[in-house]
Amino acid sequence: MFDLIFTHFNYAVVIVLMMVGLYVIFATQNLIKKLVGLSVFQTSVFLLYITIGKVSGGQPPILVESHGGDHALLSEPVLVASAAPVATHSGAYGPEVLYSNPLPHVLILTAIVVGVATLAIGLALVVRIREVYSTIEKDEIDALDYHFNLEGIDG
Amino acid sequence: MDLLSFFPEWVMTHGAALLVVLPLLMGVVLAILPSEKLAWALAFIVALICSVLALGLVLQIFGGESLVYSMGGWDPPHGISYVVDALSAPVLLLISLMAVLCLLYAWPSVRAEVEPKKRAPFYAAFLVCMAGLLGMVVTGDAFNVFVFLEVSSISTYVLVGMGASRDRRALTASFNYLILGSIGATFFVVGLGFLFMETGTLNMADMARILRDLDGGSRVAQVAFAFIIIGLGLKLAMFPLHVWLPSAYAHSPSFVTAFLASTATKAALYLLLRFTFTIFDVNINYVGRAEMILLVGFGVAGMIFASLQAIFQTDARRTLAYSSVAQVGYMLLGIGLATAAGAAAGYLHLLNHAVIKGGLFICLGAMWYRFGITRISDFRGLSKTMPWTMGAFTISALSLIGVPFTAGFVSKVNLATAAANEGWWWAVGVIVITSILAIIYMGNILKEAYFKEPPVVNGAIVARNEAPLMMLIPMWALALASIAIGINSDLMVQAANGAAELLFPVTNALPGGVTP
């Protein structure tokens, strides 16, 4: 059991963060805290994607000097782990390099930006809600709206 | 007559990309425009151009070829590809045409409902939302779907929140939608992550091929499927996940409601079709079971319970919002049948319901515009005070119920036939029962409007006060479209058959046009 947790430590953290985030969203009445919960929830996904991309023993996915020298990007070649020839990339671009998959990292950059935008809109809405209702507690807002509905000021 | 020859060559080659890029870029331009009139005119022109482009693409697809556009010249599966085929093209045309009609309606309605200095950015947010919806439908890259999903969602939160100047509850509605919508989108992206773990690709066609080779894949693919279904279920308001929808529809500006009701859930349903049938395969054991239990179960539950909830609403916009949840149930039932006929019927109902619900919400908006009413009890005598609006409302309402010679009848009959072919007679029964429930909740509104006298205000009976022409045009266009589909449904059935043909290798899933 503990073995599993420690070998899949990142995934365990992902699950914990995800559940904590979801719980906060639904348990709290405070709108700001709901947004905090949402951010924690989204962060768990960022970690999931970053974990997916990692190859054990893999180097950062940076182009190294090739044999031909055509594609040399770095003045000094990155030292490559000599062991673990698992899924190496050998091609025209350079010597055999075991590297992490950069694609999920790029993807999650997009998702991080989306998360920031969502948070910004959410906070802006909370500001407006506080201006109108003078409170940011969900239950108090519901109580205010209940009277609002009863008075028939609709539309 | 060969309509296709009117379109220049570049529409065919670059139309798919232009459809998304144009509204996205013009949205940015609109945001900095000082004048509301200029913003409206530009938005309208953009929507018109998009409709023409989408029409060109649809005509080409009906010609029998699908179109794959490689973004930036990077070929799939590594680059992002835009795919226009029989499944996506009709939805593209639907979204852009609804944008045009809703924008016509927006001219008077936004002036009444949104503060002056916010109007130009409002149209900007609308164009971005439209770009997001079109992008969701046209893209062939799974992660790109997520990006466009969020583009459309984030601008939708803004649009819904704009209703605050008319109804303060729009703010809380928008906030709830933001929380639930973000949870949905995050579930979707978790699913994509697992799918990427399983297949190592993001291109939809490539994913489908690899999953088929893996015979459905391991547990990772199953988890991915579960996350994607839940995420999309939140977005398309599948029954127990629909709680955001009624208040978002009831309190946002009426123009936004009309547009969202006819496009946003439809784009998400399109994605559900894509993911369950194209990427995953119904022949895969767990997919088939999930459709049978989840989609049909929640679809039918939604049809019954949302219809019942619709009956007990006092606000007409809430009634229609709950009815939207119920109608999503019909589409889910069609998809869950997992046969060519079922998917075609679900797809047909998707298109028809967009026409019907768009028209109904525009009529409700016009009634608010003239008299400031949304409560059903305030609808007394509307047939005398707003005869033209009430006429269009009645036609669309009958179509929603499924009266013969209307669009709703065509899709409901096709759905019932598809269910009966599978031997699901209980499903036919449920369709009939929920149609009766629809008679009750729409009848509540029609009864007030037709059989009661207009109210007396300040000692005088309320005089006739018809909606402005800019509102009458879109509502009657949609009402007449609904009748036209009901009388001759060949075109829509052809579109639905084309879509089903793509999902299942069977020709002519629906037997021609059902003419009553």
How far is residue B148 from each of residues A113, B264, B302, B456, measured CA to CA in Å? Answer: 13, 12, 27, 50
Write the pLDDT tens digit of every residue in B339-371: 889 999 999 999 999 999 999 999 999 999 988
Q: Closest approach of chain A CAs to the CA of B207, in angstroms?
A: 16
Q: How many domains does chain A have?
A: 2
- Nearest CB to B179: which of A38, A110, A141? A38
- Rounded Cα distance between B451 and B438, Å, is 19
Are residues B475 and B363 in contact, defined by beta-carbon separation less than 8 angstroms? yes
Q: Which residues of B touch A34 (CB under 8 A)?
A: 179
**A111 lies in the same domain as A144:** yes
pLDDT of A72 reads 45
- CA quadruple B254, B258, B261, B267: dihedral sign: negative
Mean pLDDT, residues A92-104 taken together = 70
Give the structural domain span for A96.
56-100
Are residues B307 and B315 in contact, defined by beta-carbon separation less than 8 angstroms? no
Is B196 close to A122, i.e. CB distance below 8 A? no
Is A107 close to B178, i.e. CB distance below 8 A? no
Interface test with A, best of B115, B158, B183, B187 (most A CBs within 10 A): B183
Asked if B466 reaches chain A (Cβ–Cβ under 8 Å), the answer is: no
- Nearest CB to A125: which of B150, B175, B183? B175
pLDDT of B497 reads 86
**A87 lies in the same domain as A106:** no
Q: Which residues of B touch A22 (CB under 8 A)?
A: 183
pLDDT, averaged across chain A:
79
**A37 lies in the same domain as A106:** yes
Q: Which residues of A touch B374 (CB under 8 A)?
A: 154-155
**A110 lies in the same domain as A126:** yes
Contacts of B322 (CB under 8 A, 6+ apart): B246, B306, B307, B309, B310, B313, B441
Residues 371-400 in B contacting A (C-alpha not used; CB under 8 Å): 372-375
Q: Tokens 């939160």 belong to which residue?
A: B157
Write the pLDDT tens digit of every residue in A136-147: 999 998 888 877
- Rounded Cα distance between B335 and B43, Å, is 34
- The DSSP 8-state label assigned to residue B70 in this structure reads E
pLDDT of B63 reads 76
Closest CA to B146 of A42, A122, A17: A42
**A22 lies in the same domain as A66:** no
Are residues B376 and B364 in contact, defined by beta-carbon separation less than 8 angstroms? no
| pTM for the predicted model, two decimal places | 0.91
Asked if A136 reaches chain B (Cβ–Cβ under 8 Å), the answer is: no
Is A154 close to B171, i.e. CB distance below 8 A? no
pLDDT of B514 reads 42
Task: Supply φ then ψ for residue B82, to 5 degrees.
Answer: -105, 125
**In 10 A of CB A2, how many CB atoms?**
6
| DSSP per residue, B330-361 | HHHHHHHT-SHHHHHHHHHHHHHHHHHHHHHH
**A121 lies in the same domain as A65:** no
**A45 lies in the same domain as A108:** yes
Residue A66 pLDDT greater than 70, yes or no: no
Q: What percent of chain A has pLDDT over 70?
A: 72
- CA quadruple B337, B341, B345, B348: dihedral sign: positive
- Minimum CA–CA partner of A146 in chain B: B169
- Rounded Cα distance between B297 and B178, Å, is 27
Residue type at A146 in one-letter notation: Y
What are the pLDDT tens digits along chain B (516 aa)?
A: 567 777 777 777 888 889 999 999 999 999 888 888 999 999 999 999 999 999 988 888 887 778 888 888 888 778 889 999 889 999 999 999 999 999 999 999 988 888 888 889 999 999 999 999 999 999 999 999 999 999 999 999 999 999 888 888 899 999 999 999 999 999 999 999 999 998 988 999 889 889 888 887 788 999 999 999 999 999 999 988 999 999 899 999 999 999 999 999 999 999 999 999 888 888 888 888 888 888 999 999 999 999 999 999 888 999 999 999 999 999 999 999 888 899 999 999 999 999 999 999 999 999 999 888 888 888 888 888 899 999 999 999 999 999 999 999 999 999 999 999 988 899 999 999 999 999 999 999 999 899 988 888 877 777 788 888 989 999 999 999 999 999 988 888 888 888 888 888 655 556 554 443
| DSSP per residue, B114-145 | S-GGGHHHHHHHHHHHHHHHHHHHHB-BHHHH
Provide the CATH number for the domain around residue A47. 1.10.287.3510
Mean pLDDT, residues A67-86 taken together = 46
Strands B460-461 and B456-457: antiparallel
Q: Tokens 């009445």 belong to which residue?
A: A29
Interface test with A, best of B149, B159, B171 (most A CBs within 10 A): B171
Task: Tell me, rounded to whole angstroms, the distance of Cα B444 from its chain centroid.
Answer: 25
What's chain A's length in residues?
A: 155
Is B154 close to A141, i.e. CB distance below 8 A? no
B315 forms beta bridges with: B375
- The DSSP 8-state label assigned to residue B67 in this structure reads E
pLDDT of B460 reads 79
Write the pLDDT tens digit of every residue in B85-112: 889 999 999 999 999 999 999 999 988 8
**A65 lies in the same domain as A135:** no
Is B186 close to A45, i.e. CB distance below 8 A? yes
- Rounded Cα distance between A42 and B195, Å, is 18
**A25 lies in the same domain as A14:** yes
Q: If residue B69 lies in a helix (H) or strand (E), which one and from where to where? A: strand B67-70
| DSSP per residue, A94-123 | EEEE-B---HHHHHHHHHHHHHHHHHHHHH
pLDDT of B24 reads 93
Mean pLDDT, residues A98-120 taken together = 90
Is B171 close to A125, i.e. CB distance below 8 A? yes
What's chain B's length in residues?
A: 516
Residue B84, both tokens: 């226009």
**A140 lies in the same domain as A92:** no
**A106 lies in the same domain as A48:** yes
Task: Tell me, rounded to whole angstroms, the distance of Cα A145 from its chain centroid.
Answer: 35
**A23 lies in the same domain as A92:** no
- Minimum CA–CA partner of B177 in chain A: A122
- Nearest CB to B182: which of A118, A125, A148? A118
pLDDT of B297 reads 92
Asked if A119 reaches chain B (Cβ–Cβ under 8 Å), the answer is: no
Cα R_g (chain A), whole angstroms: 24
pLDDT of B216 reads 77
Q: Closest approach of chain B CAs to the CA of A45, in angstroms?
A: 6
Label residue A41 by pLDDT band (50, 70, 90): very high
